[in-house]
Amino acid sequence: MKAGVGRIDAKFAALKDEGRAGLGVFITAGDPDARTSAAILKGLPGAGADMVEFGMPFTDPMADGPAIQEASQRALKAGMTLKGTLALVRGFRQDDKTTPIILMGYYNPIYAYGVDAFISDALDAGADGLIVVDLPPEEDDELCIPALKRGLGFIRLATPTTDDKRLPKVLTNTAGFVYYVSIAGITGTASASSDMITGAVERLKRHTDLPVCVGFGIKTPDQAADVARVADGAIVGTAVVNAIKDSLDGDGSATDSTVSDTLAFVKTLADGVRGARA
């Protein structure tokens, strides 16, 4: 079975065969605690997620809005670490060999862990790609190049502010897919119009053969469906994290319904994505 960037490529090939776009779901590792997070993660493919963006908690998530920052804070408070995050990936990979896991976060915890050790341990645990928000192409030598050499995908964010002149630089050394950030801003705020998204995806497709996924600002099944009509994947983060948050008790701890409520919401998104081109 293919691992690393190969697993991402295989997934998008399979989706292409099915004639539909994929649903990427973001959750923060360890939110609200390791056990609940493991159960949500395990249930995501069954609820219709085609790919998981697994957030590595960080105290200072510069590109994220309050919802995802608070998810990080809940996870850290409950004791989540980078090592713990990789352990959750390993647990998931025991039963699921086809759903790509993209580790998403910020560079400092990885730098503290040690780049080489992190790449080895991430691959060994069964992670397939990385999105490290604060490593632009200008800093590719840090992690991107070493990761790609070892077969761990490095997925780059392209944004509305990435003009045609800069785009080739952003797309170089990108593997797996391209993540289009549909708004100029942080996660969980505004939503782009479908016309803008369509135009942006078309622009990206002129520059790359890689699949293009769209995220930031997708909150509802309808919005996910709109994106799924024009892109290769729709990624939903804040709305899922909010579903987790809404299920917690007053102290921010998991309840009996945390896993089921979250997965039920993911199912509505998946139905939206799957019905989009029907």
Partner 1 sequence: MASPAPANSLRSGPDENGHFGIFGGRYVAETLMPLILDVDAAYKAAKLDPEFQREFEYYQKHYIGRPSPLYFAERLTDHFGGAKIYFKRDELNHTGAHKINNVMGQALLARRMGKTKVIAETGAGQHGVATATACALFGMECEVFMGAEDVQRQKPNVDRMRLLGAKVHPVTSGSSTLKDAMNEALRYWVSKPDTHFYIIGTVAGPHPYPAMVRDFQSVIGIETKAQMMEAEGRLPDTLVAAIGGGSNAMGLFHPFLDDTDVALIGVEAGGYGIETDKHAASLTGGRPGVLHGNRTYLLQDEDGQITEAHSISAGLDYPGIGPEHSWLHELGRVEYVAVTDDEALESFALCTRKEGIIPALEPSHALAHVGKIAGGLPKDHLIVMNLCGRGDKDVDAVIPKLEAKGLL
- Please report, for residues 12, 38, 49, 141, the alpha-carbon distance to residue 276 in angstroms, rounded to integers and kept in the order given: 17, 29, 15, 39
**What is d(CA 268, CA 278) in angstroms, rounded to the nearest whole number?**
16
- Examine residue 170 and tell whether it contacts partner 1 (CB under 8 A): yes
Identity (one letter) of the amino acid at 25?
V
Closer of 50 and 64 to partner 1 (Cβ): 64
Tokens 């998204």 map to which residue?
197
Tokens 């293009």 map to which residue?
212
Closer of 10 and 167 to partner 1 (Cβ): 167
- Examine residue 276 and tell whether it contacts partner 1 (CB under 8 A): no
Strand order in the sheet with 233-236: 153-154, 129-132, 101-105, 51-55, 22-28, 233-236, 212-215, 178-181, 156-158
- Examine residue 94 and tell whether it contacts partner 1 (CB under 8 A): no
Taking CB under 8 A as the binding criterion, the range among 3-11, 20-28, 74-82, 200-208 that sits at the site for partner 1 is: 74-82
Taking CB under 8 A as the binding criterion, the range among 104-112, 192-200, 234-242, 268-276 that sits at the site for partner 1 is: 104-112
Identity (one letter) of the amino acid at 33?
D
Q: Tell me the per-residue interface mask from 118 to 157 with partner 1, x by CB under 8 A, - otherwise.
A: ---------------xxxx-xx----------------xx
- Examine residue 76 and tell whether it contacts partner 1 (CB under 8 A): yes
Query: Which positions ≥6 away from 201 have C-beta within 8 Å?
Result: 180, 212, 214, 230, 231
For partner 1, the binding residue among 2, 39, 42, 63 (CB under 8 A) is 63
SS3 247: coil
Q: Which of 238, 237, 229, 165 is nearest to 197 (CA)?
A: 229
For partner 1, the binding residue among 62, 117, 145, 196 (CB under 8 A) is 62
Taking CB under 8 A as the binding criterion, the range among 45-53, 59-67, 119-127, 235-243 that sits at the site for partner 1 is: 59-67
Residue 160 CB, nearest distance to partner 1 (Å)? 8
Catalytic residue numbers, as ranges: 53, 64
Q: Which residues of 50-59 are buried (b: 16+ CB within 10 A; e: fewer)?
A: bbbbbbbbbe
Beta-strand ranges (E) seen in 139-211 are 153-154, 156-158, 178-181
- Examine residue 104 and tell whether it contacts partner 1 (CB under 8 A): no
- Examine residue 43 and tell whether it contacts partner 1 (CB under 8 A): no
- Examine residue 263 and tell whether it contacts partner 1 (CB under 8 A): no
- Examine residue 88 and tell whether it contacts partner 1 (CB under 8 A): no
- Examine residue 164 and tell whether it contacts partner 1 (CB under 8 A): no
For partner 1, the binding residue among 2, 42, 90, 166 (CB under 8 A) is 166
- Examine residue 78 and tell whether it contacts partner 1 (CB under 8 A): no
For partner 1, the binding residue among 110, 225, 240, 254 (CB under 8 A) is 110
- Examine residue 189 and tell whether it contacts partner 1 (CB under 8 A): yes
For partner 1, the binding residue among 27, 147, 158, 270 (CB under 8 A) is 158
Radius of gyration of the chain (CA): 17
For partner 1, the binding residue among 89, 101, 102, 181 (CB under 8 A) is 181
Question: What single-letter DSSP state applies at residue 220?
Answer: S
